Amino acid sequence: MTTTATIPTTRSSPFSRRRLLAVAVIAAVVNVVAFLIGSAAGATMTVSSPQEMQIPVVVVIVATLVPLLLAGIVTWLIAKRVPAFRTVARWVGTIVALISVVEPFLVTDDTTTAVSLAVMHIVGGAAWFVALAK
């Protein structure tokens, strides 16, 4: 009698891609709500970096979805081979997002705009942290 050992051919997923997509979409919706609340509160949504421009809602959506999804895909691919990378990326990305909260205050004199944009950075950081949970 012979015995054969089976070797798994697939590795477990480093984190849920569906959760990444769902969290990114939820973050975009929350950021649109923050944009609308800020605008209703008098935020001009005008920044001067490097030239003055008004931020339309479509930029809020794109600036939320694209970084979360692209960084998530890259992280997923790397973490598939190096599982510890997920944890490092999760914390580094969250810290970077929270540090970036300062940036809106540097590119606009309108406090309401700065606060609205800072909230969006916090939402992005929180979304990243949740999306990369195991």
Which residues have CB under 8 Å from 134's CB, separation 6+? 14, 15, 86
Would you state the pLDDT for residue 12? Answer: 73
Q: Determine the Cα–Cα distance for residues 92 and 122; give it in Å rounded to an integer.
A: 14
**What are the structural domain ranges in the chain?**
17-131
Let me know: does 15 contact 76? Beta carbons within 8 Å.
yes
Let me know: does 25 contact 132? Beta carbons within 8 Å.
no
Let me know: does 43 contact 112? Beta carbons within 8 Å.
yes
Task: Answer yes or no: pTM beyond 0.75.
Answer: yes
Question: Is residue 54 helix, strand or coil?
Answer: strand
* pLDDT tens sequence across 110-119: 999 999 999 9
| End-to-end alpha carbon distance in the chain | 41
19 membership: H or E segment, kind and range: helix 17-40
Which residues have CB under 8 Å from 119's CB, separation 6+? 34, 38
* pLDDT tens sequence across 27-84: 999 999 999 999 999 999 999 978 899 999 999 999 999 999 999 999 999 999 999 9
